[in-house]
């Protein structure tokens, strides 16, 4: 179930998250300087170091806003200040809450591309989210052959040019959401599993060639973050309610 018939609901905090709820936040990354500075002050030293590694200023600021907003939002779910949030990282770099905050069962995943970030949050359900800015030059047959399964490549060749670009990014985001949900990153080759992505097809995981014998436990959602973007969400289990929120810094104290 999903509330996207009403679109993304603007707020700074959605309150609590009930068992079975999955919240996805859309975060605009182009913000006034005062917002950027506010969120930089919330980051840990290692996050500031990561931000400062970006060569272009726009990439530094977008990383800062995405991480700062994530801290702010996770803090509202945990009734903690943004600076109190502590992270640990899995073998492939997937972040999780550190103890004792991990006892809350809160799971989250962040993705950003271009001017948009998406933050997915749930309790006691693994999940992964991916957003991509549509770049027609990237949606090539060469890239598909390199990363997609033979079945997916064959399906792409049956589509016209306009359909092919949309379908390519449907496929890409659903694959990325799945490997992020599993937390194994590049250790899961993108061509080792197949997703549904053609026009009119419901998003789904069709087959996994190895490593996930219980793959039917995953539910997929196509998300619509805005013109020029594609996004997907993978969630463990099928009994959940998806709620879409628009992060609005105007509601935050001092902004």
Contact 107, 123 (CB under 8 A): yes
Give the integer Cα–Cα distance in Å for 30 and 50: 19
Q: pLDDT (tens digit, 9 = 90+) per residue, 7-56?
A: 898 876 667 888 889 999 999 999 999 889 999 999 999 999 999 998 99
Answer whether residue 6 shows pLDDT above 50: no
Question: What's domain 4-125+240-251's superfamily in CATH?
Answer: 4'-phosphopantetheinyl transferase domain (3.90.470.20)
The class level of CATH for 133-223 reads: alpha beta
Q: Judge if pTM exceeds 0.85.
A: yes
Fold match flag (4-125+240-251 vs 133-223): yes
Q: pLDDT (tens digit, 9 = 90+) per residue, 82-108?
A: 999 999 987 777 889 999 999 999 999
Domain residue spans of the chain:
4-125+240-251, 133-223
Task: Give pLDDT, residue 254.
Answer: 55
């Amino acid at each position: 179930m999903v509330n996207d018939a009403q679109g993304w609901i603007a707020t700074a905090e959605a309150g609590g998250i009930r068992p079975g709820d999955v919240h996805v936040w859309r975060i605009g990354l182009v913000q006034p300087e005062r917002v950027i500075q506010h969120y930089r002050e919330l980051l840990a030293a290692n996050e500031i170091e990561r931000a400062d590694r970006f060569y272009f200023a726009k990439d530094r600021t977008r990383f800062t806003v995405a991480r700062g907003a994530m801290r702010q939002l996770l803090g509202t779910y945990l009734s903690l200040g943004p600076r109190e949030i502590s992270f640990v990282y899995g073998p492939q770099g997937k972040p999780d809450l550190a103890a004792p905050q991990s006892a809350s069962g809160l799971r989250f995943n962040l993705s950003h591309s271009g001017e948009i970030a998406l933050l997915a949050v749930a309790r006691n359900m693994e999940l992964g989210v991916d957003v991509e800015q549509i770049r027609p030059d990237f949606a090539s047959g060469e890239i598909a052959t390199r990363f997609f399964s033979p079945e997916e490549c064959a399906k792409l060749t049956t589509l016209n040019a306009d359909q092919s670009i949309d379908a390519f990014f449907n496929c890409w985001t659903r694959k990325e959401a799945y490997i992020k949900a599993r937390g194994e990153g590049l250790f899961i080759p993108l061509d080792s599993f197949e997703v549904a992505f053609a026009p009119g097809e419901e998003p789904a995981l069709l087959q996994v060639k190895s490593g996930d014998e219980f793959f039917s436990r995953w539910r997929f959602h196509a998300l619509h973050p805005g013109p020029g973007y594609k996004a997907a969400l993978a969630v463990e289990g099928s009994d959940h309610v998806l709620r879409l929120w628009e992060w609005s810094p105007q509601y935050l104290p001092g902004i």
